[in-house]
Amino acid sequence: MRKFISGNEAVVEGALIAGCRFFGGYPITPSSEIAGHLSTRLPQIGGKYIQMEDEIGSLAACIGASLCGEKVMTATSGPGLSLMLENVGMAIMAEVPCVIVDVQRGGPSTGLATKVGQGDVFQVRWGSHGGYPVIALAPSTIAETVEMTIEAFNLAEKYRVPVFLMTDKVIGHMREDVDLESFAGYPIINRKVAPPDGEFLPYRAENLTDVPPMSPYGGLHVVRASSTTHDQRGVPTPDPEKITFKNSRLYHKIQDKAGEICRWEADLMPGADSLVVSFGISARSGKQAVVEARASGMKVNFLKILTLWPFPEEAISEAARGVNKVVVPELNWGQVALEVERVLGADVNVIRVNKTDGTIICPEEIIQVLNDAAAS
């Protein structure tokens, strides 16, 4: 059955398909519909919704529930995300699966509560002190939003990390038709559970890419989870060797798996001399701009990033092969553009198309930049 739903509703559908049974949240525009729908839908299937006293408590409650074995999610926007960051660090350190939806709006500060922005790309990656990797996904259609929400849960469960689903005000509120039944057979990943017998160590690992199996509070084992740097028992440790192993594993379990985690959509053509790279809402305009530019005879590649973090370095390099200029439209002052420059080095001219006035970038604006670059 096809349904005409908004991006925020798509997040709800994707979460329920993935097995979400706990939502802790706090109202904030433009994400509030996610909380509204889940407060109705979760108790219908025996799940739990709680509206906490702030965003700090929202993510904290989610992490506590996840440690009881539930699949959990919270949803917010920039100002709330800023408050959640200390708990993002906790989820990284204690290795607790959780999904954080960031329906981005214009910043800084309270900024543009009801208008679009894409300025949180670096905040989700670097916002928590210490600088440890997370996973962030960025859909640009409603069907992708359903799928990426399921993927967010799958990746959180597989790697025991917080996973960000980054939409924005326009995707959150625009509607497209989606065939929800097409997701019926979608693969669902559940966290590895520790075997009932033998000694249980909550952070048992031998290799730097290992993800320890979990055991829920109230289950067969006694479980320790800790925000303090800990050994395999979950006990604080001053031992530099154990600290190195723990911190290295937090890094490598994600970065070394970038090839498995990263997703993108490439539309490449022979002889292309330019490339448009974008994500989320801006990728829709980028895609249309490339269609029109090609119709007027230009040779342009297109790359839509679906996994913002880990950044899809190989996909960028591949799409930029033989290209001498890369146009990066985004609703901020050039965050993904900085990453593209890092990956491609100084030989390629990275051209920014930035907008922070609360409106989206139109295809014409990107075509103009492509034309100007071709003429120069």
Q: Determine which residue in the list 5, 61, 99, 148 makes contact with other proteins, applying CB under 8 A.
A: 61
Looking at beta carbons only, is 49 or 159 nearer to other proteins? 49
d(CA 255, CA 332): 25
Q: Determine which residue in the list 3, 29, 36, 64 makes contact with other proteins, applying CB under 8 A.
A: 64
Burial of 236 (0-12, 13-18, 19+ CB in 10 A): exposed
Binding mask 220-239 for other proteins (x = CB under 8 A): xxxxxxxxx-----xxx---
Minimum CB separation from other proteins for residue 136, in Å?
22
d(CA 247, CA 244): 5
65 binds other proteins (CB under 8 A): yes
Binding mask 22-41 for other proteins (x = CB under 8 A): x-x---------------x-
Minimum CB separation from other proteins for residue 24, in Å?
6
Binding mask 39-58 for other proteins (x = CB under 8 A): -x-xxxxxxx-x-xxx-xx-
Amino acid at 265: E
The partner residues of 305 in beta bridges, in order of sequence, read 264, 279
| Secondary structure of residue 246 in the 3-state scheme | helix
180, 21, 161: which is closest to 92 by C-alpha? 161
Looking at beta carbons only, is 19 or 111 nearer to other proteins? 19
First to last CA, the chain: 50
Can you tell me which residue has the tokens 């829920």? 216
Tokens of 245: 């192993």
Q: Determine which residue in the list 10, 11, 15, 60 makes contact with other proteins, applying CB under 8 A.
A: 60
Please count the residues of this chain forming the interface with other proteins, following the rule CB under 8 A.
47
Q: What is the DSSP string of 251-293?
A: HHHHHTTHHHH--EEEE--TT--EEEEEEHHHHHHHHHHHHHH
Binding mask 66-105 for other proteins (x = CB under 8 A): xxxxx-x-------------xx--x---------------
The interface with other proteins within residues 159-218 (CB under 8 A) comprises 216-218
By CB under 8 A, name the binding residues for other proteins.
Answer: 22, 24, 40, 42-48, 50, 52-54, 56-57, 60-70, 72, 86-87, 90, 216-228, 234-236
